[in-house]
Amino acid sequence: MKQLITILFLTFSSISFSCIGKTKIDELVDQVESKVIDWRRHFHQFPELSNREFKTAEKVAAHLKSLGLEVETGVAHTGVVAILKGGLPGKTIALRADMDALPVTERVDLPFASKVKTTYAGQEVGVMHACGHDAHTAILMGVAEVLVQVKNEIPGTVKFIFQPAEEGAPEGEEGGAELMVKQGVLKSPDVDAIFGLHISSQIQVGMIGYRPGGLMASVDDFRIKIKGKQTHGSAPWNGVDPIVISAQIINSLQTIVSRQLQLTKQAAVVTIGSIHGGVRSNIIPEEVEMIGTIRALDKDMRQQIHKKIRNIATGIAESMGAEAVVEIPMSTSYPITYNTPKLVQQMLPTMQRQAGENKVIIMDAITGAEDFAFFAEEIPGFYFFLGGRSESISAKDAPPHHTPDFKIDESGMKLGVKTLANMALDYLSN
């Protein structure tokens, strides 16, 4: 009898929430929209780099505390975590936003454009939210404010995760989602599922892009050092030229994807982004260093690429009398961002209800990477893309992410607040 009463109570609670709580959400989102835009503009004007999000975290924490939430700061250096306990028993869901900016000098003509400068990798650089993390942070602050107002009707717990260093921790430091997981952010209480979003300058406002399974690629950076023998540039036969050897290696690396992987299965990329060696025109240097990035959407292909890079670099160098030292990863290594298919299917009606069925589209996988992947490796996860491109701009003319001209249409953020809030409620209610 006791068990029956509990089932009836939970069933009634779920029905009650469906009838009462959800009718309030649109109204609450309307009320918070202007705040979300103001928060986003503040963060945009005052961006901070990875593991240095001190003022950003301070503002986020102050807002969450004002809502009466349990707030923990200093997680993974500058992360902020807040817990909202619903009025009814149930599961625990996590919602995540990233807070860090990039070493990019802004060119967008906005009254709240960033004028911030700092030192990065020994150089003075501008700092800009050139990937939309300012919008993500503001959206999740809005979601927290909305859900607090219906907390008595929530069957379960919501954990808000404001994450630093998604773009990668500074050299020699740990950070980001990987460190948060290591520090137990998905525990106490144990999280059953996690959701996150990324605003996109390529997807039109009002639309949502999603994909079950592998959505974004793994990433591994790498370094190859070619050690030759220095000599005068006029007599190369007296030395071992690491520059010529590097050229051979670079050309051969491009055959890994084009000739050695089954590309009908998944996409992959091997890119050399920097090469350096020598100081004068008439000196063959002793050493050349190159660095690059590996992207893969399949775990086995990822491992194949690692092995083939090592074999190609060391084999070519040895055949020409030099030595190759290969380091994979060099500093950054994120797994594939994988959306749990069952969770995606469960949440699809929620997205369609918020945006409209014809505005929720399955998108192609992306060879960019996202450290939300560390969360989704531990528990079921769902990461989706939110439209941020103005209808007046075509996709081909929209400035891409990580560029000085990146911009978003702020009217798209309202849908982000609605969707994340309703995802949390629907998941917990079911």
Residue positions annotated with a catalytic role? 334, 410
Query: Would residue 163 be called left, alpha or beta, if left means φ above 0 and alpha means ψ between -120 and 50 degrees?
Result: beta
Residues contacting 111, CB < 8 A, separation 6+:
none
Count Cβ atoms within 10 A of the Cβ of residue 124 and give its class: 0-12 exposed, 13-18 middle, 19 or more buried: exposed
Output the CA–CA distances (angstroms, integers) from residue 281 to 175, 221, 232, 243, 277, in the order listed.
41, 30, 10, 12, 11
- Token pair recorded at residue 332: 């950054």
Amino acid at 158: V
Cα separation, 236 vs 393, whole angstroms: 54
Question: Where do we find the tokens 């705040």?
Answer: 35
Q: Facing residues of 196 across strands?
A: 96, 383
Question: Where do we find the tokens 């020409």?
Answer: 320
Distance from the Cα of residue 88 to its chain's centroid: 32
Cα separation, 414 vs 32, whole angstroms: 9
Give 230-235 contacts, CB < 8 A, sequence gap 24+. 230/283, 230/284, 230/285, 230/286, 231/283, 231/284, 232/282, 232/283, 232/284, 233/280, 233/281, 233/282, 233/283, 233/284, 234/282
Residues contacting 318, CB < 8 A, separation 6+:
324
Distance from the Cα of residue 118 to its chain's centroid: 23
Amino acid at 155: P
Size (the chain), residues: 430
> What torsion, rounded to 10 degrees, do the Cα atoms 149, 151, 152, 158 define?
180
